[in-house]
Amino acid sequence: DIQMTQSPSSLSASVGDRVTITCRASQSISHYLNWYQHKPGKAPKLLIYVASSLQSGVPSRFSGSGSGTEFILTITNLQPEDFATYHCQESYTTRLTFGGGTKVEVK
Amino acid sequence: QVQLVQSGAEVKKPGASVKVSCKASGYTFTSYEIHWVRQAPGQGLEWMGWMNPNSGKTGYAQKFQGGVTMTRNTSISTAYMELTSLRSDDTAMYYCARWDKKLYAMDVWGQGTTVTVSS
């Protein structure tokens, strides 16, 4: 099975910061990597699909990059509503494994 | 608008079963797979399986095979996830999500259903 590892597991940041989150796959998943934002009490929200495509309605301060085994989610100019947990998910296999999540907290 | 609305919170005893519903609206129910994902307290998201509402075909994560059943009622655009022989570690928030095959991603999610397993 493919293992998905996110780093860091948590980070502290301030409004206006640039934040990067890394997701590594245990084997190549081509570009089949999604990013979701999850806030407490809310449903997860799709941000980025197939590594770098921005989901409709998602602000352009969110971007994704990478292929193969290493992927990055970047949030530029962090906004108050961006404090949340971010999950990566591989869609290369039918197991659709998620990473462990990265919690972005207020510094 | 496109949405998935799930049934309310459940409290069950160990060994019991629970059936969570997920009602779709705003799109053609039979055109998109429904997937189920859970999140236990303090844990990450865990994919459980999928169902094709058109054919009824299903696929389950190995961990849940034999313990989960995903079904649907197309006349009311509703998907169901039944989990049997509940244990305390099945306590979690359960989400249904629509799989968009063009995006290779889950693009619409239900609001979640809390299932608590406690004696």
Amino acid at B49: G
The string of pLDDT tens digits covering residues A6-60 is 999 999 999 999 999 999 999 999 999 999 999 998 999 999 999 999 999 999 9
Query: Residue A1: pLDDT band by 50, 70, 90 thresholds?
Result: confident
Q: A1: exposed, middle or buried (C-beta count within 10 Å: 0-12, 13-18, 19+)?
A: exposed
Helices and strands of chain A, counted as H and E runs: 0, 10
- Which of A36, A49, A98 is nearest residue B104 as measured by Cβ atoms? A49
A-chain CB neighbours of B112 within 8 Å are 43
| Chain A residues closer than 8 Å to B35 by CB | 96
pLDDT in tens, B12-40: 999 999 999 999 999 999 999 999 999 99
Mutant choice from B62, B101, B103 vs A, greatest count of A C-beta within 10 A: B103
Tokens 């296999």 sit at which residue?
A: A93
Of B45, B59, B61, the CB nearest to A87: B45
d(CA A101, CA A30): 21
Strand order through the sheet with B78-83: B3-6, B18-25, B78-83, B68-73
- Yes or no, beta carbons of A89 and B45 under 8 Å apart: yes
Half-sphere CA count of A59, side-chain side, radius 13 A? 11
pLDDT in single tens digits along all 119 residues of chain B: 999 999 999 999 999 999 999 999 999 999 999 999 999 999 999 999 999 999 999 999 999 999 999 999 999 999 999 999 999 999 999 999 999 999 999 999 999 999 999 99
Pairing state of beta strands B105-109 and B92-100? antiparallel
Which pLDDT belongs to residue A76? 97
